[in-house]
Amino acid sequence: MRINDNVYYVGVNDRTKHRFEGLWPLPYGVSYNSYLIVDHDAVALVDTVDVAFFGEYIDKIKTVIADRPIDYLIINHMEPDHSGSIALIRKYYPGIKLVGNKKTMQMVQGFYDATADDDVCVADGDTLTLGHHELKFYLTPMLHWPETMMTFDTTNGTLFSGDAFGCFGALNGHVIDTQMEVAPYWAEMERYYACILGKFGAPVQAGLKKLANVPVKMICSTHGPVWTELIPQAITTYQRLATGQTEKGLVVCYGSMYGNTARMAEAVCEGAAEAGMKKIVVHNLSVSDISQVLADIFRYKALAIGSPTYNGGLFPVVDDLMRRLAGRNVGQHELALFGGFTWSSQAVKAMEAYNEKIKMHLVASPVEWKQGVTGNDLQSARQLGRMLAEQCNNMA
């Protein structure tokens, strides 16, 4: 599929995998994007695909270039959803030269034992000419791995961006943003960011800064649509998520065994609603998908978390959420905590300990109850909800 003068899309869709990275659900699948630049002097392949799709992939490549050899494989990112076919591509095209930076080459050797003496090791700002097309390499470490780089085609303004500006969601026939119903991909972009890049806000910002003056006309990411007219929206979305910008709204997350913590969560919601909060999202963590929970937390300013004490600590699904938050840069949020116990108070202490790392602003002292919740406990929970809403009402 031609997307731009001599640039072709040769990626594949994965509608089989249940969980990306073994962790994140894929209700709409995912695409592994790869691109061919067919120039008069040389052919370059940009990234590969998950090796499970190699048969389909090589057919797509052959459909574009028939028996012409590929001269270069540009490796922007080594995570195996993109690097998985490197060793087989090298076997199909023995004359191919791999193009990557020093860290890329170490990983190619470590993962696939597939480097060669005439591979091309590039540094930040280096260029490679294919004839008409000139490629310029921008090293963008930790976006998403240390070796990550982007490749800019200076001839036509196409940026091959690796995972950046990517999203979950397979491509349903169309590849380019202007030709498809793009709305579902924005939500999948937020979920993708929260799950995959949520830890790397600072490197994402550094990458965006590096690209600020690059005249990009088309973004070819490794996942999801090719961005053209909607480049500003894709960049704004990544910028917003990387800088922790939030909107007015409350996410209430809880775990509950016998309904006491659940009742407190309902009371938090009621208090927030009474104080004028319109957008309230509730997640029973024993039921909700954690990827959506994280995406909602990235989006909204206020967060309430409730947990019973369980085996001398936090209820496991709440512990899991807080551990994931501690490993991400979700930005500054207004936080309220509520927790219960039967004979030994541990949940609130454990949540407070996590927040020492997460560093959200506690709107009030945590609300704690022993055994069954009382009317007073529910009033305290309503007050937490009101305070969260009031903090949001003060947002600029």
Using CB under 6 A, list all residues that contact ligand FEO: 77, 79, 81-82, 144, 163, 222-223
The distance of closest approach from Cβ of residue 21 to ligand FEO in the complex, given in angstroms and rounded to an integer, is 8
The distance of closest approach from Cβ of residue 195 to ligand FEO in the complex, given in angstroms and rounded to an integer, is 11
C-beta of 144 vs 333, nearer to ligand FEO: 144
- Closest residue to bound ligand FEO by CB: 79
Which one, of 161, 224, 226, lies nearest residue 190 by Cα? 224
The distance of closest approach from Cβ of residue 19 to ligand FEO in the complex, given in angstroms and rounded to an integer, is 14
C-beta of 14 vs 368, nearer to ligand FEO: 14
C-beta of 221 vs 355, nearer to ligand FEO: 221
C-beta of 24 vs 254, nearer to ligand FEO: 24
The distance of closest approach from Cβ of residue 78 to ligand FEO in the complex, given in angstroms and rounded to an integer, is 8
R_g of the chain, CA atoms, integer Å: 24
Which one, of 338, 337, 321, 329, lies nearest residue 283 by Cα? 321
C-beta of 29 vs 313, nearer to ligand FEO: 29
Which one, of 111, 3, 17, 16, lies nearest residue 60 by Cα? 3
The distance of closest approach from Cβ of residue 83 to ligand FEO in the complex, given in angstroms and rounded to an integer, is 9
Which one, of 371, 360, 368, lies nearest residue 384 by Cα? 368
C-beta of 78 vs 358, nearer to ligand FEO: 78
C-beta of 77 vs 133, nearer to ligand FEO: 77
C-beta of 131 vs 145, nearer to ligand FEO: 145
* CA-to-CA dists, residue 312 to 159, 193, 344, 373, 377, angstroms: 51, 33, 7, 19, 22
Longest Cα–Cα distance in the chain: 78
The distance of closest approach from Cβ of residue 108 to ligand FEO in the complex, given in angstroms and rounded to an integer, is 15
Q: Is the distance from CB of 203 to CB of 142 less than 8 angstroms?
A: yes
Query: How far is Cα 285 from Cα 296, in angstroms, rounded to an integer?
Result: 13
The distance of closest approach from Cβ of residue 234 to ligand FEO in the complex, given in angstroms and rounded to an integer, is 16
C-beta of 80 vs 157, nearer to ligand FEO: 80
Query: How far is Cα 25 from Cα 66, in angstroms, rounded to an integer?
Result: 36
The distance of closest approach from Cβ of residue 82 to ligand FEO in the complex, given in angstroms and rounded to an integer, is 6
The distance of closest approach from Cβ of residue 199 to ligand FEO in the complex, given in angstroms and rounded to an integer, is 12
Q: Is the distance from CB of 305 to CB of 318 less than 8 angstroms?
A: yes
C-beta of 161 vs 309, nearer to ligand FEO: 161
The distance of closest approach from Cβ of residue 32 to ligand FEO in the complex, given in angstroms and rounded to an integer, is 7
